[in-house]
Amino acid sequence: MKRTFFVALFLSAFAMTAVQAEPASSTLPTPQKAGGKPVLDAVAARASAAGSGFPSKAISQEELSTLLWSASGKNRANKWSVPFGMGVEPYVDIYVVGKEGIHRYAWQDHSLKPVADGDLRARISSQSFASAASHIFIFVSNKASLKKKGGSSQNWAKWTHVATGAMTQQLYLVSDSLDIGARYAETMDVDFVRKTLSIPADEEPICIFALGKR
């Protein structure tokens, strides 16, 4: 009886320690959903920030919140700010790389989930402006939602790329409205990204996007 009691006590203490050791998520501030530049003005001004002298001032949590929401956040009941095929939940994940580490954006509760510690910006891309950026967004396919709906797996890659195009274009427009420089980065250390983010073999790191306050 005593042995059973102490085993149960040990397992309980172990479970509590495991829960306490799990990194906490951070809820983002409420995103800005009104104001800014008129849409046509933003389209007319849309441009990639120059790689030379890339804007490197820090992006605030409020601005980060607005950027992430604009890329794949909810803007009405079970619908999102960019189009996803068949109306299913987002099938492209966004990972946020900053000086404090890497987090995954969770659209479900508009929060950041910790993935890796430390400043890894220079490891993500060999292009110098990436390490100078306040944040780097990594877009990674997540086909679980598409698999639930069925359809040909041959179309999954195309759908994730189309969605990523819509997400990044939205980011360009919102970034300009917030006076934030944005630039698609051509190079990405895919092997490092896969290992660091624990990306399954059947998923794809699609592209990276550098952002910095002007």
Residue 165: both structure tokens together: 């195009």
Q: Are 31 and 73 in contact (CB under 8 A)?
A: yes
For the beta carbon of residue 49, count every other beta carbon within 10 angstroms.
Answer: 21
- Quote the percentage of the chain above a pLDDT of 70: 88
**Cα–Cα distances in angstroms (integers) from residue 138 to residues 38, 68, 98, 194, 214, in the given order:** 28, 12, 11, 11, 21
Assigned domain for 13 exists: no
Minimum mean pLDDT among 38-42, 142-146, 177-181, 182-186: which range? 142-146
Q: What is the CATH number of the domain that holds 63?
A: 3.40.109.10
For Cα atoms 205, 208, 211, give the angle at the middle one, nearest 5 degrees: 155
pLDDT per residue as tens digits for the range 23-64? 678 999 999 999 999 989 999 999 999 999 999 999 999 999
Residues ≥6 apart with Cβ < 8 Å to 61: 28, 29
Residue 20: both structure tokens together: 């306490």
Minimum mean pLDDT among 16-20, 31-35, 195-199: which range? 16-20
pLDDT per residue as tens digits for the range 89-112? 899 999 999 999 999 999 999 999
pLDDT classification of 4: cutoffs 50, 70, 90? low
Assigned domain for 94 exists: yes
Q: HEC string of 69-84?
A: HHHHCEEECCEECCCC
pTM above 0.85, yes or no: yes
pLDDT classification of 3: cutoffs 50, 70, 90? low
Query: In angstroms, rounded to a whole number, what is the distance separating the alpha carbons of residues 117 and 101?
Result: 4
**Mean pLDDT across the chain, nearest whole number?**
88
Assigned domain for 40 exists: yes
Assigned domain for 16 exists: no
Assigned domain for 4 exists: no
Assigned domain for 161 exists: yes
Assigned domain for 208 exists: yes
pLDDT average, residue stretch 149-168: 86
Which three-class secondary structure state does DSSP give residue 99?
Answer: coil
Domain tally for the chain?
Answer: 1
Assigned domain for 165 exists: yes
Which three-class secondary structure state does DSSP give residue 12?
Answer: helix
Domain that holds residue 54: 25-213
Which three-class secondary structure state does DSSP give residue 130?
Answer: helix
Q: Is the pLDDT of residue 209 over 60?
A: yes
Nearest to 91 by CA among 37, 172, 162: 162
